[in-house]
Every structure is written in structure tokens, then in C-alpha cells.
Chains A and B, each alone.
Chain A
Amino acid sequence: MLSCLQKASRRRSFDYFKVICIVRLQHAQVQSKETAVKDFSEIPQPKSLPILGTFLDYTKFRGFNVANLSNLFKARFDELGPIYKETIIPGLSEPTVHCFSPQDNEKLFRLESRLANRDPIEFLKVVRERIGVPSGLVNIQGEEWYQLRRIVNEHFLTNSSVWSYSKDIHEVSEDFVDYISRSLDSNNEVPNFALALNKWALEGAGVFSLDTRFGMFTGEVEEHLQEIVDNSNLMFQLMAELTVAPPFWKYFETKQIRILIFVLDLLSRYYALKQCQAAQVAAIKKQRDILLKRIKEKDPEKLTKLEKLMTKEVDILVSDMLGGGVDTTSNAAAFMLYIMAVNPDKQEILREEIKTALQSGKVDGKSLQRMKYLHACALEAQRMFPLTPGTSRRLPVDVVLSGYNVPAGTRLLLLSNVAHHKNPEYFDQPESFLPERWLERKHKSKQEWSNFMSTRSGFAMIGSFGMGARACPGRKFAMQEVHYLLISLLSRYKVEYHHKPIKPHFRLVTVPSEEPQFTFIPL
């Protein structure tokens, strides 16, 4: 009896704290230079037609191409300001608030509680239900998400776990560079390098999700794997189109949905086959059993609901790892190599740091974290070519954003990457690739640096991995992979680029607008 009361009062005090937090924030907002808080209905909206809403803006009728979705957001930002509300088709879609202001990012970052809520990818959820597999970590919410995410965190985001794969990932990148050296043509280019990057990313993903080397570079590739690579590309293309298409697929099966169902079915059957061999999956399952046992001891009623869920969700984790870890990483690598190629002086500086590390033999996982220039290059590449325009949330409480009251339950899109990644107000010389900007902290006191970051650059860029408790779980693996690629490649080759300039194009994740055909000059 007493423990129940204690538990209840603890929970109440947490809610009480949240209320105090919000009241304090709102109070501060009113007290500050801004005028009184405006109502939700006053948030600026783009011009919309009576029945069609703003739907036409997303069709070829107005010259829209899904690859330029980020440009549409930027255009709206330029026209309407740091916050706007849009309902694409009144009656069918819900009003979504788009925020661009770094101050709003900061507010949401500090308010984030344990159970961060981000809307599922609707069509993916529907398709997975149709195939009969669980929705996946990206699509579940609330307590279920939290329990699964704890398991995922322990295996994906703890340093000991990530660093235990560093040797294998280093080998993968060395094998990749050997493959490059074998495949160079007379122009010192690798034919269809985009596919080669996909193979590298898939090889790396295979290491940390299935503990196996697929052998994409040794020539003895399993027959299914080429299919997997081709299908992954198709999958991402379809997912990009479905994100912005009108939600007709909710009511009947469109052609796109049918293709997506087929592709995902194929991929999930392949992954289910491979799972038996995986030590990683065994480890996750063991972890899950321990977690379930602990929940059972504390709260048996919770168990029956969660148990069935978590058994199935763990199985889909592997396909999420392989699906989410290939296209994203290979695009990140393409942009990284591009920015290195067009900034040969920065490439030299990085090469010096890499050479020093290799000579002293310090290239394990932890030592990578001490290579400051490498880390700064990765951050700067994220700024110039963000892999996503931002992230999204659904608010648990009422919040005042940019002077407007936004009620709980509203869907938010935080899109500051699109608006501010090249904004001179937040980043000096925004068009230049300057990793040094992230290293200036040593020239300022901690206080100065913290003020600089939190008023300027820090929250202007959400980065490629989202923010807070719901940020990408694979980000440490991805960064490790790209770091090792740079280490292996830049120590043996000089990277150049002699074709049309590459711009970012949106395709669920940002992709290069041109083929990433780099030239590799042996050192």
C-alpha cells in the first residue's frame, strides 16, 4: 500500500515538474521582448485552394519534383517566416506545423521527456501489417517503443559495443580500397562508383547486424545479394514518392504500394533466412529476455502486453538495420568524398592527421574519437549536405513556439537543416567548407563557447541523425564506418572530382544530384 502511494507521488511530482517547466517557459515568453502569446489559429499558412488545399503545389502542375521537396520547404520559409502551418488536403490530411527556428529546436530539445513521440511512417506501417511482420522501431510509440529502444540502445549506442566492431569495419574499408584499386579504369575512376559505395555500406551493415562478411568485394557474392542491393534502391525511391503522394493508398492499393509490398516481402524473407546465423541477434534476444524478466518482477500485468510485441519486434530489427544502414551510409560517404574532393587543402590537413594516427598505430574505435579534425569534417559535411531536412515530433504538452501557442497532440516538423544550414546569421562563410569552425572551442572559455553554440550554430543544425532520445540508433556505427573509409582511402589515394557540381536531392534521405564518379590518384 505504502509503495503504491510512493510510486503515485513520484509520478505526480514528475508531472508537477513538467507543468512547472511549461509554466515557467510560457511566463518567460510573455515577459520577454516578444508580444503576448498568439493563438494557434494565427500561425501563417500558405495560400490554399478551397477543396484541393495546397495539394497542387506537390504535383508536376506547379513544377514540383519530389527530389526538390527541401526547396519547397525553403521557399515557404522565405515567404512565411520561421513557423507555418499547412494542411495539404483539408479533410484528408491533418494540419502540420513546420518550425525552422533554432530557438524552437532548443525548446523542444530541453523539453524532451523519456517517451519521445514521432509519427510513424504511415505507408510503411500499412505495408508491414499487410505482409504480417511487426512495424519496427521507427513506427511504434509510447511504452512499447521505450522498452524496445532500451535494448537497442545497449547494443547500438554504447561505446563498448560500437568499438568492439571497429577492427572488422576497418578491414571492410581496407578491402573496399583494395577493390577500388583493382577496378580503376584508364581515367582512374571506378565504373559505377555509386553501386560500389552501396556494396561497401551493405558489407559494413552485415558486419554489425549479422556478424558476417557478405563478401561483396571478393567476388564470391551470394546470388541474392545483388537483388538486395537493387531492391533497396527501389525501396527508397518508392518510399520517397509515397511520403509526398496523396494518401490514396489508405483506401485502396495503389501500384506503388503493391510494388513496395513485394519488395519488402522479398527483403524480409531474405533477412529471416540470414538471422539464424547471427550472433548479434542472439545477443539482442538474450537482452530482451532479461528485460522481460525484470518487468515481470516489477509489474506482471505489463508483461503480457509487451512480451508478444517484443518477440516479434526484435526480429524486424535486423531488417531495419540492414534497410536503414545502407542507403543512408553510402550517401553520407558520397557527400563526404565529394566535399573532400573539391577542397583539396582540407583533404591534405585530414590526410596528415590520418597519417599520424596510422603511424602511431592508434586507429581503434576509441582513438577515432580523439581525431578532432576527422570529427569536425564529418560535422561540417553534415551541415552542408544534411541527410534529412530535420525531424518530426508530436507534442506531449502545449508549447509556445515562435510566439504562437501550439496545443498538445499537434504534429510538428522541425526543418531547420533546410533553412539554416547555409544561413550566414548562424554560420560564418556558410558556402565554404570549414571544419575549423567546429574546433574553435579551444580558443574560447567554456562559457563563451556555450553561449556561441546555443545562440548560434548549435541548434541551427539538427544534423543528419535527429535529436534527443529518438535520434538515429545507428549513428555511431555509421560515423565509425565513414571514418574508417576516410582513413583507408585518404591514406592511399588522393580523391578528385571532375564532373558537374553535386547538389543535394531529397529522396527520403538526401542523395547526390549527379553520379558520384570520383577520380582516385594513387599517392
Chain B
Amino acid sequence: MSHRSFSVFRKIFSEFSKLPLRGVAIKQQTAYTHKSELLASLQQVKTFHTTPIVAKDKITINLIDRKGEKHTTSANIDDTILDVVLDNELNFESFGVCEGTVSCSTCHVIFEDGVYSLLEEPLMDEMDMLDLACGLTETSRLGCQVYLTKEMDNCTVTLPREITDARDV
């Protein structure tokens, strides 16, 4: 390699290594909720993308918190709602206390009608915990079990107002 192309190569490499890691490494910040096979993902602890992360992997999602404030953020497809909240450090109080293991109902969110019908039917474990959530509606789901798809671009997800029982107050 000539001297000039080597220095170009070195420059590209140093730029390249500053890119954020995709795949499992980022997800370590949150409860690991990606759909991929466990063993395969463990073998590739660090995966580098050879191309920069492109917009088509992301969608925009609006989240309305318990006080009624709207947060708009971009989110990766195949992440869960809980991932979105944690990755973007939205700091919703008492959201996802059990970290996505379907042991509580604090990540209870309400979808719009049109978006709700796009979602896969909840699994039995989720239904058991969803039954115990406060203020259950016809379009409620647990945020840690809903994976984002392209069709959900620009949807609005609402957190219910109270996490304690509405009947107490």
C-alpha cells in the first residue's frame, strides 16, 4: 500500500471505530429484549456495521407521560417500548420496574386503536400481568413485550395517568 492510501485508510479506520456499536453491545444498557437467538447473539458480542446506521432502521414515536407531556423520539425497529424509554433516558417514574421480565405491570401503555390492531396478540404470560394493571383499556399492552415495526411510525403511545389503583383516590 502506498504511503498516501495507508494514511487515508488509517483515517477511515479511526473515524469508523468512533461509530456506536450496533447489535448486542448497545442493548446491554437495557433489559435484553431483542428477538434474535440467544446463542448467536452471545457469540457476536460486538457487531460492527460496515455502513453507517441509516434512517430506514428507525421510526419516530411519540410518548405521552403520566403528566400529559409529550416526548417525541426516534426508535429502532425491533426494539420494545421499554427499550425506547430506557435508551433515550426518558426517566418515567416507576416504569419497567421488573426490567422486562413480565413480573409487574408498571410498563402498561395505551395504544391508538389503529396501531393496536397491527400488534400481535399478547402471549399468555403478558395477559396474566396485564390483567392486574390499573386503568386497563381495550388497547392496553405491556410496553416491554411490544416490538416496534415500520407500520408504527409516528404513532402515539400513552402512559396511564395513575400507577396506583384509581379506585383508591
By a beta-carbon cutoff of 8 Å, the part of chain A in contact with chain B is: 10, 13-14, 17, 21, 24-25, 28-29, 32, 106, 109-110, 112-114, 150, 153-155, 157-161, 164, 279, 283, 286-287, 290-291, 294, 366, 369-370, 372, 375, 379, 441, 445-447, 449-450, 453-454, 458-459, 467-469, 471, 476
**B98 & A283 in contact (Cβ 8 Å cutoff):** no
Complex interface: chain A residues within 8 A of B91 (CB): 10
Complex interface: chain B residues within 8 A of A114 (CB): 97
Closest 4 CB pairs of A and B: A450-B136, A369-B123, A157-B101, A28-B168
Select the stretch in B10-18, B50-58, B125-133, B151-159 that faces chain A: B125-133
Chain A proximity mask over B117-157: 1 for CB below 8 Å, otherwise 0: 00001011101100111101110100000000000000000
**A445 & B31 in contact (Cβ 8 Å cutoff):** no
Q: Is B113 in the interface zone, CB < 8 Å from A? A: no
Complex interface: chain A residues within 8 A of B125 (CB): 369, 476
**B42 & A286 in contact (Cβ 8 Å cutoff):** yes
Q: Is B164 in the interface zone, CB < 8 Å from A? A: yes
Query: 10 additional contacts, CB 8 Å, given A25-B168, A370-B123?
Result: A10-B91, A28-B169, A157-B101, A158-B32, A164-B37, A287-B42, A447-B136, A450-B136, A454-B165, A469-B104
**A366 & B123 in contact (Cβ 8 Å cutoff):** yes
How many angstroms between the C-alpha atoms of A145 and B104 in the bound complex? Answer: 18
How many angstroms between the C-alpha atoms of A160 and B42 in the bound complex? Answer: 12
A-B contact pairs, 14 of them (CB 8 A): A10-B91, A24-B168, A24-B169, A25-B164, A110-B163, A150-B31, A158-B31, A158-B32, A158-B38, A160-B36, A164-B39, A291-B28, A454-B165, A471-B103
By beta carbon, the residue of chain B nearest A113 is B97
Contact of A13 among B45, B93, B137, B168 (CB under 8 A): B93
How many angstroms between the C-alpha atoms of A189 and B125 in the bound complex? Answer: 34
How many angstroms between the C-alpha atoms of A467 and B163 in the bound complex? Answer: 17
**A446 & B127 in contact (Cβ 8 Å cutoff):** no
Complex interface: chain B residues within 8 A of A25 (CB): 164, 168
Q: Is B94 in the interface zone, CB < 8 Å from A? A: yes
Q: Is B99 in the interface zone, CB < 8 Å from A? A: yes
Complex interface: chain B residues within 8 A of A375 (CB): 124
Contact of B131 among A28, A287, A449 (CB under 8 A): A449
B74 to chain A, nearest CB (A): 23
B116 to chain A, nearest CB (A): 11
A341 to chain B, nearest CB (A): 24
**A153 & B99 in contact (Cβ 8 Å cutoff):** yes
Complex interface: chain A residues within 8 A of B37 (CB): 160, 164
Q: Is B2 in the interface zone, CB < 8 Å from A? A: no
Complex interface: chain B residues within 8 A of A446 (CB): 136-138, 140
How many angstroms between the C-alpha atoms of A29 and B104 in the bound complex? Answer: 23
B41 to chain A, nearest CB (A): 8
Contact of B45 among A150, A290, A366, A468 (CB under 8 A): A290
By beta carbon, the residue of chain B nearest A289 is B45
By beta carbon, the residue of chain A nearest B136 is A450
Contact of B31 among A13, A154, A366, A467 (CB under 8 A): A154
**Known pairs A446-B136, A468-B104; A458 contacts B131 (CB<8 A):** yes
**B123 & A453 in contact (Cβ 8 Å cutoff):** no
Please report whether the interface of chain B is mostly helix, strand, loop or mixed according to DSSP: loop
Q: Is B3 in the interface zone, CB < 8 Å from A? A: no
By a beta-carbon cutoff of 8 Å, the part of chain B in contact with chain A is: 25, 28-29, 31-39, 41-42, 45, 91, 93-94, 97-104, 121, 123-125, 127-128, 131-134, 136-138, 140, 163-165, 168-169
How many angstroms between the C-alpha atoms of A14 and B93 in the bound complex? Answer: 7
**A369 & B124 in contact (Cβ 8 Å cutoff):** yes
**B133 & A450 in contact (Cβ 8 Å cutoff):** yes
By beta carbon, the residue of chain A nearest B99 is A153
How many angstroms between the C-alpha atoms of A294 and B91 in the bound complex? Answer: 19
A137 to chain B, nearest CB (A): 14
Complex interface: chain A residues within 8 A of B33 (CB): 158
**A21 & B164 in contact (Cβ 8 Å cutoff):** yes
Complex interface: chain A residues within 8 A of B123 (CB): 159, 366, 369-370
B145 to chain A, nearest CB (A): 9
How many angstroms between the C-alpha atoms of A441 and B103 in the bound complex? Answer: 20
**B131 & A441 in contact (Cβ 8 Å cutoff):** yes
Complex interface: chain A residues within 8 A of B124 (CB): 369-370, 372, 375
Complex interface: chain A residues within 8 A of B169 (CB): 24, 28
**A106 & B137 in contact (Cβ 8 Å cutoff):** no
How many angstroms between the C-alpha atoms of A287 and B28 in the bound complex? Answer: 9
Complex interface: chain B residues within 8 A of A159 (CB): 123
Contact of A290 among B28, B103, B138 (CB under 8 A): B28
**B101 & A458 in contact (Cβ 8 Å cutoff):** no
**A447 & B137 in contact (Cβ 8 Å cutoff):** yes
Complex interface: chain B residues within 8 A of A112 (CB): 97, 104
Contact of B164 among A14, A110, A157, A287 (CB under 8 A): A110
How many angstroms between the C-alpha atoms of A446 and B38 in the bound complex? Answer: 34
**B132 & A459 in contact (Cβ 8 Å cutoff):** yes
**Known pairs A10-B91, A447-B137; A379 contacts B98 (CB<8 A):** no
How many angstroms between the C-alpha atoms of A157 and B99 in the bound complex? Answer: 10
How many angstroms between the C-alpha atoms of A112 and B94 in the bound complex? Answer: 9
How many angstroms between the C-alpha atoms of A405 and B131 in the bound complex? Answer: 28
By beta carbon, the residue of chain B nearest A294 is B28
**A283 & B42 in contact (Cβ 8 Å cutoff):** yes
A278 to chain B, nearest CB (A): 13
Complex interface: chain B residues within 8 A of A279 (CB): 39
How many angstroms between the C-alpha atoms of A469 and B103 in the bound complex? Answer: 6
By beta carbon, the residue of chain A nearest B125 is A369
Complex interface: chain A residues within 8 A of B100 (CB): 153, 158
Complex interface: chain A residues within 8 A of B168 (CB): 24-25, 28-29, 32
A367 to chain B, nearest CB (A): 10
B128 to chain A, nearest CB (A): 7
**A113 & B94 in contact (Cβ 8 Å cutoff):** yes
Contact of B132 among A24, A447, A454 (CB under 8 A): A454
**A153 & B101 in contact (Cβ 8 Å cutoff):** yes
A374 to chain B, nearest CB (A): 9
**B99 & A453 in contact (Cβ 8 Å cutoff):** no
By beta carbon, the residue of chain B nearest A457 is B131
